């Protein structure tokens, strides 16, 4: 089955062009619906940049008449988190599952085939909450041969999930109250990066607006995982200072975009060594953990 692709864009036409160019080179692109959401300008000086993105998208649609491309323009600025939550909810409820891409990425020619096959294969595995397509180099356990692994963390760059999982997510995070001072839960949540509990604190304080940390918290509460590739099928181009959140990015993990077919389909098991080696790149240093402690005090957490 060819699942729909949902793309979220804002005001960087060069990044959008790079993504679309790589997407048009993907195998299995035809016979699927492509939805492109264009967020409105947040301020007057961004208006012309948004128009350039929209002009480019219309040109793509006109020159690729064999593809089913639908462009959804927002008059107001929703911001990335709200755009993704509302946009994915609208589209995924019409389908079994959906593939989501942010606009500042390059995808492998095999990206769509990978996502389709993984979504089909893992759909009936109750342990799996989502499929991711991005990874970065990390130390593998001796003798580790698998092409994919399970993680409690998802990359927001490019991913997919099923409608029944998406609709279970509590975007208001009602269970945060019990989590806030539960040191055992906080430690367990931080198994996949000790930045996560603080990110959730900031989310609830209104200091950040992240769909991903809320997505991951729901995945954690349900004791489920994301399937990630050992070799990345996505390369991010957004941490160049041009994006709304570029200066706020804590991590810039360069990776090599695989050009190989990547369709090993097998039941995966949690590997604690993989979890540790993968997640430690997200971990705060001792100094930063001290600063986190100070921040929590200042925030009243």
**Domain ranges (residues) in the chain:** 5-299
Range 139-159 burial, b when 16+ CB lie within 10 A, else e:
ebeeeeebbbbbbbbbbbbbb
pLDDT digits (tens, 9 = 90+) for 250-286: 444 678 888 778 677 888 999 999 988 888 888 766 5
DSSP state of 228: E
**Which one, of 281, 249, 291, 287, lies nearest residue 80 by Cα?**
249
Query: Which residue's entry shows tokens 């095999």?
Result: 110
Whether residue 41 contacts residue 11, with contact meaning beta carbons closer than 8 Å, is answered with yes
- Across all residues in the chain, what is the average pLDDT? 90
Query: Which residue's entry shows tokens 């929209």?
Result: 54
Q: Specify the fold of 5-299.
A: Spore Coat Polysaccharide Biosynthesis Protein SpsA; Chain A (3.90.550)
Whether residue 64 contacts residue 25, with contact meaning beta carbons closer than 8 Å, is answered with no
Is 300 a residue whose pLDDT tops 80? no
d(CA 44, CA 42): 7
d(CA 258, CA 79): 31
Q: Which residue has the higher pLDDT, 259 or 248?
A: 259
- What is the model's pLDDT at position 151? 95
| pLDDT bracket for residue 156 (50, 70, 90) | very high
Report how far Cα 300 is from the mean position of its chain's Cα atoms. Answer: 30
DSSP state of 246: G
**Which one, of 244, 255, 271, lies nearest residue 43 by Cα?**
244
């Amino acid at each position: 089955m060819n699942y729909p692709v949902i793309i979220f864009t804002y005001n960087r036409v060069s990044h959008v062009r790079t993504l679309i160019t790589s997407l048009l080179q993907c195998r299995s692109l035809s016979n699927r619906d492509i939805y492109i959401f264009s967020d409105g300008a947040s301020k007057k000086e961004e208006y012309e940049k948004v128009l350039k993105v929209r002009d480019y998208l219309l040109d793509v649609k006109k020159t690729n008449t064999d593809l089913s491309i639908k462009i959804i323009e927002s008059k107001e600025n929703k911001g990335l988190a709200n755009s993704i939550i509302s946009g994915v909810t609208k589209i995924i409820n019409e389908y079994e599952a959906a593939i989501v891409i942010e606009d500042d990425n390059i995808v492998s020619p095999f990206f769509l085939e990978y996502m389709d096959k993984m979504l089909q294969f893992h759909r009936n595995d109750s342990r799996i909450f989502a499929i991711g397509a991005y990874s970065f180099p990390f130390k593998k356990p001796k003798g580790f041969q698998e092409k994919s692994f399970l993680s409690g963390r998802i990359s927001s760059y490019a991913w997919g999930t099923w409608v029944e999982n998406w609709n279970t997510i509590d975007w208001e995070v009602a269970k945060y109250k019990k989590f806030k001072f539960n040191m055992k839960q906080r430690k367990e949540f931080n198994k996949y990066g000790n930045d996560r509990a603080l990110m959730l604190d900031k989310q609830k304080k209104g200091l950040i607006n992240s769909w991903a940390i809320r997505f991951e918290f729901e995945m954690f509460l349900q004791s489920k995982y994301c399937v990630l590739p050992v070799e990345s099928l996505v390369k991010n181009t957004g941490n160049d200072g041009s994006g709304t959140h570029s200066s706020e990015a804590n991590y810039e993990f360069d990776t090599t975009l695989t050009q190989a077919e990547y369709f090993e389909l097998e039941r995966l098991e949690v590997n604690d060594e993989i979890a540790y080696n993968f997640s430690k790149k997200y971990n705060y240093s001792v100094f930063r953990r001290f600063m986190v402690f100070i921040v929590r005090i200042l925030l009243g957490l």
